[in-house]
Amino acid sequence: MQEIWHTGIVTKLVDETYNTRRFWIRIPDMERFDFKPGQFVTLDLPIHEKKNKRWRSYSIASHPNGTNEIELVIVLLEGGVGSTYLFTEIKEGSELQVRGPLGVFVLPETLDRELFLICTGTGIAPFRSMAHYIRLHNVPHQQIYLIFGCRYEKDLLYAPEMRQLQEELPNFHYIPTLSRDESWTGKKGYVHSIYEEMLQADKRPANFFLCGWKAMIDEAKQRIVAMGYDRHDIHLELYG
């Protein structure tokens, strides 16, 4: 386990939605912060005496760009000690202890199958990183479906950017799916019905990447296996 902690400086803060904030963090003692799209960093926050109760991990939302700055997108959780600290105490210029990059939630070496990127909430972060990386490096790929589940339209993160990416990245499909928004004209309901419907008639080779809350991931795992896929086709990153 990589135990090296770096002092990061918060260079920019932007509210993305009513309860999420984008944090840009620069790591001055590194010339470039190299990571694979899908990896995460751990922050050590001064919120507890015990080390492991101070640590909070967040997927990197930006793509590797050769600089020493990364972006995280963080949701303010009701009663969440870590996110409350980040939202109330951290300003531009604040310092944060950062460890990473960590994790094996990364793209396969070759994208020779269709990719289903299924997420809820801030679970879109690693997929944003992956999609930009694929576009920038012209990585050969099959169809890519980003299925993003939220309750309301106001919960959608990076929506204009994802729509633009759909225009610029061939075979990339952005499918926001809302479960409670009556006025929404796009896909409604939960993420599961979307991929099931798409694969019902034609169970083609695919890789499934799941990121978000545990309940969604548990259900998706069961449903994907029930469709006849191997559990090795399923990759996941759990939140909470």
Shared domain for 168 and 189, answered yes or no, is yes
Gyration radius from the chain CA atoms: 18
CATH of the domain at 231: 3.40.50.80
Shared domain for 63 and 132, answered yes or no, is no
CATH of the domain at 85: 2.40.30.10
- CA pair distance 216, 192, nearest whole angstrom: 9
Shared domain for 36 and 13, answered yes or no, is yes
Residue 240: predicted pLDDT: 59
Could you list the residue range(s) of the whole structural domain that residue 149 is in?
Answer: 114-239
What's the pTM value of the predicted model, to 2 decimals? Answer: 0.96
- CA pair distance 59, 134, nearest whole angstrom: 17
Query: Which residue has tokens 């939302």?
Result: 61
Residue 238: predicted pLDDT: 84
Residue 196: predicted pLDDT: 96
Shared domain for 75 and 118, answered yes or no, is no
Q: Which residues of the chain have pLDDT under 70?
A: 1-2, 240
**Which helix (H) or strand (E) is 11 found in, with range?**
strand 5-17
Residue 115: predicted pLDDT: 98
Shared domain for 118 and 78, answered yes or no, is no
DSSP string, 214-230: HHHHHHHHHHHHHTT--
